[in-house]
Amino acid sequence: MAHNIVASGADLAIVDTNLDEASRQRDAITEWLQRERPGSQTRVTAHYADVADPESVDACLAEVLDAHGSKTINGLVTSAGFTENFAAVEYPVDRMRRLWEVNVDGTYLFATAVAKHLMARNEQGSMVFIGSMSGSIVNVPQPQAPYNASKAAVRQLCASFSVEWAQAGIRVNCISPGYMLTALTEKILADKPALKAAWTSRIPQGRMGAPADLAGPVVFLLSDASGYVTGADLRVDGGYTVI
């Protein structure tokens, strides 16, 4: 997603608790720019934030503005999130709360901070929340009730903000991916490799998604091409939720 955002001509700030990984991504994208778009003025930066912590979010936004010459932040993608698989009756309460803090509070805190920034400058913007098809269906066989509920909350936050902020010119949409091959799912599959066949058998397109499958949808929703689209939930799941 980051790659395609930059390829579309936007500056980019990558934010993560894992600053090393964010910095690696920044360097890889910067190298690509130097190779493919020599002379490009596009700026890519990496920053630390714990999205669950309001002070960390505010400090991060200040740092991003500083690093980008105080340019308006008119696009936001909220993607920080995680899942864990425990039966509901065995789910450790502290883990359940942490999941909610990151997946739901994190989306809320970053989105409202950027909305305040846009409103203060009287500028328009577009936000894309990364939800999950798990916000609409229950995955099987792995148990993950708090995750499923958190992603339903992300979708409903998107809908609520889209209405609240429509008059301010801020669009808010959600992308709900299906099973994508990323570090998150690779960790689950490393423990239980048989899950891959179980998951894939339910995907009409017959394969798990690649991160690149989200690149087009995210740029479409951030750009003016989707100017009359707000409050939408775009499922990018190879058809999983259709059947």
Ligand X SMILES: NC(=O)c1ccc[n+]([C@@H]2O[C@H](COP(=O)([O-])OP(=O)(O)OC[C@H]3O[C@@H](n4cnc5c(N)ncnc54)[C@H](O)[C@@H]3O)[C@@H](O)[C@H]2O)c1
CB 87 within 8 A of CB 96: no
Chain positions contacting ligand X, by CB under 6 A: 16-18, 21, 49-52, 79-82, 102, 106, 130, 132, 177, 179-180, 182-185
Is residue 61 within a helix (H) or strand (E), and if so which, with residue range? helix 54-67
Which structure tokens are listed for 186? 């690779």
Give me the least distance between CB of 172 and ligand X, in Å please: 16
Start-to-end Cα distance in the chain: 27
For ligand X, the closer CB: 18 or 34 = 18
For ligand X, the closer CB: 33 or 49 = 49
CB 35 within 8 A of CB 8: no
Catalytic residue list: 132, 147, 151
Give me the least distance between CB of 182 and ligand X, in Å please: 3
Give me the least distance between CB of 145 and ligand X, in Å please: 14
**CA gap 226, 233 in Å, rounded:** 13
For ligand X, the closer CB: 165 or 179 = 179
**CA gap 225, 39 in Å, rounded:** 27
For ligand X, the closer CB: 53 or 123 = 53
19 to 24, 161, 242, 243: CA distances (angstroms): 8, 29, 37, 39
Give me the least distance between CB of 168 and ligand X, in Å please: 25
**CA gap 62, 181 in Å, rounded:** 33
3-class DSSP state for residue 225?
helix
DSSP 18: -
